[in-house]
Homo-oligomer: A and B are copies of this chain.
């Protein structure tokens, strides 16, 4: 099947209106491209769930901070398109920043309407070190939702905080769609897949492995009955390679996102660390 590559919003809307008219269900997989097996798992899930599947490929400038990797973020649209074609994607929507935000518009809250997630959800974890990041994510995702009007949207559990925030957005803004969380896909040795893994040197990749190992250790200890997050934290730290720069290792109630001291319910254990210049995140639900 031929995948349609569309760069503009109105063509995309036109195609989607046609599907809607025919009563077909639509699945959206929002991505920043540089597709890997993690994205592929989202796309496969979307194909199972929906009549038509749209994959958006857009490196969203408004979710990157001034000193982050917007410019060097990998862009591999030819390869992405091929992967989408193999997976039977109907439309790859790959707009330019100008198409999404307009020509000559300042990409900031002085000139653009923003969606701002609850402060309680952004004043922690990735939100603390990336001010404005989740405003940018929520805004672009709402735009994509409005353009594609999906019945289901598929997001990886790897970006756990993003997933929580987007679910809340759907609830708070009364959107008519279901967010489908999909499990983290890992390399055989445990490293969580990420488009940013391509930044890692061989040496860095080895130290990066201790991130998933430390989460694994927490799971083992928890299953042995240790519920004090302070103890679990210390055990994880002892496993993390000393060359990694830990940004956070947090325990959050998976339903409320509140900080957890003593585990007594489904809990998100989330970690972020810098490996050289590369910022990596990972998490486990225990």
Q: Does A146 contact B (CB under 8 A)?
A: yes
**A50-58, A117-125, A238-246, A270-278: which lies at the B interface?**
A117-125
Chain B residues within 8 Å of A114, by CB: 115-116
Q: Which residue on B lies nearest to A110, using beta carbons?
A: B119
Question: In the complex, how many angstroms separate the beta carbon of A233 from the nearest chain B beta carbon?
Answer: 26
Q: Which residues of B contact A119 (CB under 8 A)?
A: 109-111
In the complex, the answer to whether A176 meets B118 with C-beta atoms within 8 Å is no
Chain B residues whose C-beta falls within 8 Å of the C-beta of A168 in the assembled complex:
113
Q: Would B113 and A113 count as touching, CB distance under 8 A? A: no
> Is the Cβ of B169 less than 8 Å from the Cβ of A147?
no
The range of chain A's interface size is 20 to 34
A35 CB → nearest B CB, Å: 24
Beyond A9-B174, A146-B173, whether A120 also contacts B111 by CB under 8 A is: yes
Interface hub of A110, A117, A142 (most chain B Cβ within 10 A): A142
What residues on B are CB-neighbors of A117 within 8 Å? 113
Determine whether A175 belongs to the interface, using a CB cutoff of 8 Å to chain B: yes
- Give the distance in Å from the alpha carbon of A163 to the alpha carbon of B116 in the complex: 21
A111 CA to B121 CA, complexed, in Å: 8
- Which of A156-189 touch B at CB < 8 Å? 168-169, 172-176
Closest 10 CB pairs of A and B: A113-B172, A146-B174, A110-B119, A114-B116, A113-B169, A143-B174, A147-B174, A111-B118, A110-B120, A116-B116
